[in-house]
Every structure is written in structure tokens, then in C-alpha cells.
């Protein structure tokens, strides 16, 4: 059940977006118990998510993105 730091980072990121399974989260938590680097990464990831949530960041719609891309291509 041991996972690598790369896999832990991947699960941490998936967890941030609520895409990780319960099993993955359990593996991550066990890994974090003995890996300081991944524990620090996980903590920083949670902080970043919290800051983004509080900033009420808005993203462009797909139509807006396509429109911007067309405008940029015209100017190039």
C-alpha cells in the first residue's frame, strides 16, 4: 500500500478538486505520516485552495476563451 511521493502529490491535487477516491485519500494520509516533504506540499496545497476560494476567483467561459484566441490569432 506504500505510494511514491509523485503519486502522493497527484492524489493531493486530485483531492483538492474533490476527485480523489476514499482509498486514495487514505493512502495519501498514511504517506503523509512518514514523509515531511509531502506533508508540507499537502499543507501548502490546502492553503492555496483556501486563498483561491476566499479570493472568489472567476474563470472565463469556453466561448470567451475561444473569442480571445481568435482575436490573438488575428493580431499575429
38: burial class by Cβ within 10 Å (0-12, 13-18, 19+)? buried
Looking at the 3D structure of the chain, how many domains does it have?
1
- Predicted local distance difference test score (pLDDT) of residue 1: 75
The three cell numbers locating residue 1: 500500500
The pLDDT value recorded for residue 12 is 95
**pLDDT tens digits along 34-71:** 999 999 999 999 999 899 888 887 888 999 999 999 99
Give the domain extent around 38: 5-75
Amino acid at each position: 500500500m506504500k505510494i511514491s511521493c509523485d503519486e502522493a502529490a497527484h492524489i493531493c491535487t486530485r483531492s483538492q478538486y474533490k476527485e480523489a477516491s476514499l482509498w486514495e485519500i487514505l493512502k495519501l494520509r498514511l504517506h503523509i505520516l512518514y514523509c515531511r516533504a509531502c506533508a508540507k506540499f499537502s499543507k501548502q496545497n490546502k492553503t492555496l485552495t483556501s486563498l483561491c476560494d476566499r479570493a472568489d476567483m472567476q474563470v472565463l467561459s469556453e466561448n470567451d476563451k475561444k473569442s480571445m484566441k481568435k482575436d490573438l490569432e488575428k493580431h499575429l
